[in-house]
Amino acid sequence: MANANHVVVCGLDKQAKNEVAYVLQSSAPNDVPHHVEVNLSNSTCSCRAGASEQCKHICAVHIYVYRLVVMSYNVVIFYLMFVLT
């Protein structure tokens, strides 16, 4: 799902301190996306498996956010290396 660009919107809810995302359903991409909320202590998804905190949509959001952080970090390091040399 993370590689298939199924995470269509992802952002930070500062009040709740959650990542909030909408993830397309892989079995029905034209239907309403699943609503996913992720934080360190618990995660929820509107799909059937979401109540168990072990659905693939939650995993996709974790991977998506991780990749954003790593890519941002790499860009900053590259910029600093370029500027400081």
pLDDT in tens, 43-60: 888 888 877 767 888 888
What domain range includes position 46? 7-84
Q: Is residue 1 part of a domain?
A: no
Report d(CA 3, CA 54) in Å as an integer. Answer: 18
Q: Domain for residue 75, yes or no?
A: yes
* Domains in the chain, number: 1
Query: What does the pLDDT read at residue 82?
Result: 63
pTM of the model: 0.67
Please name which of 4, 31, 1, 7 lies closest in space to residue 21, comparing C-alpha atoms. Answer: 7
Residue 71 domain flag: yes
Classify residue 68: in a domain, yes or no: yes
Cβ-based neighbour number of residue 26 at 10 Å: 12
Residue with tokens 């040399």: 85
